[in-house]
A and B are shown apart, each in its own frame.
Chain A
Amino acid sequence: MSKQKKDCQKAIKLLTQYERLANKLNSKLSPNRIQELNRMHDDGTITVNDLHSILRREFP
């Protein structure tokens, strides 16, 4: 298994499924925060720095 491949998959998961993953880690974000993340996701401008700290900590 390629570690680089796995890291890429994890990064993509964090940058696309932030709401589900934050909830799973007991870190529910308000609808406004989610809306803003969705906007950045849809614009294609979202980066690791935009994520909540609990997800940044999991970033590869």
Chain B
Amino acid sequence: MSAYPELDQLGLKELIARWHQPAIDGEAYAASYYQEIVDLIRQQGEAGVKFLLAEVPTANLQKLAAILCLLPPVSNRKLINQIWTNFLKDDRPEIVASAIDGLRHQHIWQVRDQVFALSKHPAPCVRGSVLRYMSQYDPKIASVMLVEALDDPDYTVRENALDELDQLGAVEAIPLIRSLLTDSHPDVQKAAETALENLAQLKKGAWQRKQLNASANLA
């Protein structure tokens, strides 16, 4: 069962019909609904991918963001690179953020300089997607950015930075992460709490391995 079980058994034709209808849970949840439909349509194979690419020029904000984020990866990397990179200059933050996530899913790293240049973008959703992209592309460069982002004025950016530091296993950031346990936003507090638990486990595991190796060398 998926998050939208009512869509699970639908074929391409029915999914396309749903794509053209209003979101079933209402406009407030349209982003997640169209993202799910994009994922199901791409699973239908080449015909589904072709349909979604054809929708790009005319899709509204929610639908275009869903395509940009969840259509990749596809076999035609060159096409994704060309189309998606153009959307990095879009004036709608949701579109820029989704294009960055799509480029990350497609593992297109040659546009890293253009993505990095968006790290001070006024929209928090863009700054968050830049952190996710850079974290996956180059953990060393990203770790500096992630530590800086812990002081970002927007909570979603701080939250992204914490989740990425956790993912990178950045045990050296533990003291900085600890200070966010009392952040003003509960989601940041939760991300900090989880990161600290996970990083402490990693640190303990590394210490135990070191002790075992030392014992083995003595024996």
Contacts and interface: CB of A to CB of B under 8 A. Distances in A.
Q: Do A and B bind each other?
A: yes
A54 B69 contact: yes
B187 interface: yes
Contact size range, B: 35 or more
A26 B3 contact: no
A52 B3 contact: yes
Contact of A28 (B29, B36, B65, B191): B29
Given A24-B160, A29-B3, A6 B169 contact: yes
Interface string B182-219: 00000100110010001001100110000000000000
Contacts of A30: 25-26, 28-29, 32
What's the interface size class on A, roughly? 20 to 34
B192 to A, nearest CB: 12
B147 interface: no
A24 B160 CA distance: 8
Given A24-B163, A24-B187, A37-B3, A1 B35 contact: no
Contact of A10 (B29, B36, B105, B167): B167
A17 B198 CA distance: 14
Q: Residue among B32, B94, B97, B125 with the most chain A CB within 10 A? A: B32
B156 A51 contact: no
A20 B205 CA distance: 28
A57 B105 contact: yes
Contacts of A2: 202, 205
17 contacts: A5-B201, A6-B202, A9-B198, A17-B194, A20-B190, A21-B163, A22-B32, A24-B128, A24-B187, A26-B65, A26-B94, A26-B98, A27-B32, A32-B25, A52-B32, A53-B38, A54-B70
